[in-house]
Copies of this chain bind each other. A is one copy, B any other.
Amino acid sequence: MIEVQEALEIVAANSSNLSTQKLAVKKALGYVLAETIYSPIAMPPFRQSAMDGYAFIHSERHQFDIVGISQAGDHANIKLKENEAIRIFTGAYVPDSADTVIMQEHVMANENSILIAKKPEPFANIRNKGEQINIEEVVFEANTVITPAAIGFLACLGITEITVYKKPKVAILVTGNELVKPGKKLSKGKIYESNSVMLEAALQTIGINKIKIHRVKDNLKATKNALKSILEENDVVLISGGISVGDYDFVKEALLKNGVKELFYKINQKPGKPMFFGAKKDTLVFALPGNPASSLTNFYIYVFPAIRNRMGFSNTHLPKIVRKLNSSIENKTGKTLFLKALYDEKNVTILEGQSSAMLNSFAIANGLVIVPQEVENIKKGQLVTVLPID
């Protein structure tokens, strides 16, 4: 049995980046860049008007003849004289001869000429070529996370394809003779199997959408055979159940017989103690506890950062925030506790129903409060660390 901190370090040390792939920018939301991107163009690509108005050559003059028009998308390089102006619109090409744009709200205009009361500064209301970014300038460093704004910025530079870290292929293996698929009749002594859909949904919240769910009978041979191809075909394998010390838990043996190297087994925490973490080549194996709340806790604490690591994220863990505790906590277990809780901008409330078999409180929680194993008492009003899960 190891401590939480050590378990986290072992998971991090074994969660290498996956290989990279080329991907269309419009499909890259939530991926992490595996290359530095340089701009293929200057942006703006030409001098643009920042306003709807009139372009002219700045001088002492207040009256101008209108000699042309430049709409967005046009490229008429009209050669202006000092007494001439053109009608111009936001985003439109500013002729090389013009140096200033005035907002239309600041002129008196008729069909052929404009009169300016208060002239703007020279060079006003013009976006210079390359003002936003120049050709060959760095757009994004490697390891940038692709957000909606990043997609917009790449697209506005004409970039359609980028190299990103792949997302892991993830499989979930469910064991347990006591489990019945929801929708079927529950015979005596059985319970409904809920961990697979719960873990599938948890994976979806971090952008993993292609997940294969396997089910296997609770015996060594079936488990061992099922694992063979699952280990070959996936980057991360989650196993639900069959990992506590009971005589009928075959999962660990089946893993070792398949050449999975044990990296740790059991963590000094509550809930979530009976967990096995191992690896076969680059495939990571998390054998999670069968109790639903334990399973989901360990997903957030261990699986989440491992997958983020593999996807190339720099911030792999859930963020840690600090809140004032609304009640007191006792911890006589000598274990690290992860308590389902509801936090707001200032405080955090520990929810009722912390049993590892119960999902009631997890379903309404928005955070997990960490109580370190050496802390026996936390008083009401003290600050605690919360991991947001919303």
Seen from chain A, the residues whose Cβ lies within 8 Å of a Cβ on chain B are 25-26, 29, 41, 43-46, 48, 50, 52, 71-75, 87, 89-93, 104, 127, 132-133, 140, 144, 147-160, 176-180, 182-184, 186-195, 197-202, 204-205, 218, 244-248, 290-293, 296, 319-322, 345, 353, 355, 357-360, 362-365, 390
Contacts and interface: CB of A to CB of B under 8 A. Distances in A.
B155 A245 contact: no
Nearest to A213: B26
B155 A193 contact: yes
B202 A148 contact: yes
Query: Oligomeric state, in number of copies?
Result: 2
A152 B362 contact: yes
**Binding site of A, secondary structure by majority: helix, strand, loop or mixed?**
loop
Contact of A46 (B50, B180, B189, B321): B189
Contacts of A43: 191
8 nearest interchain CB pairs?
Answer: A152-B198, A75-B189, A73-B178, A155-B194, A149-B362, A156-B194, A72-B178, A75-B188
Contact of A183 (B50, B158, B292, B357): B158
A191 B296 contact: no
B71 A248 contact: yes
A370 to B, nearest CB: 15
A72, A92, A144, A198 interface centre (most CB from chain B within 10 Å): A72
Contacts of A29: 201, 204-205
A275 to B, nearest CB: 14
Given A72-B178, A182-B158, A290-B90, A345 B363 contact: no
A83 to B, nearest CB: 23
A125 to B, nearest CB: 12
A151 B201 contact: yes
Nearest to A133: B360
A159 B359 CA distance: 14
17 contacts: A26-B197, A45-B186, A52-B246, A72-B177, A73-B189, A74-B189, A132-B360, A144-B363, A144-B364, A148-B198, A149-B362, A153-B363, A155-B182, A155-B198, A156-B193, A157-B192, A160-B183
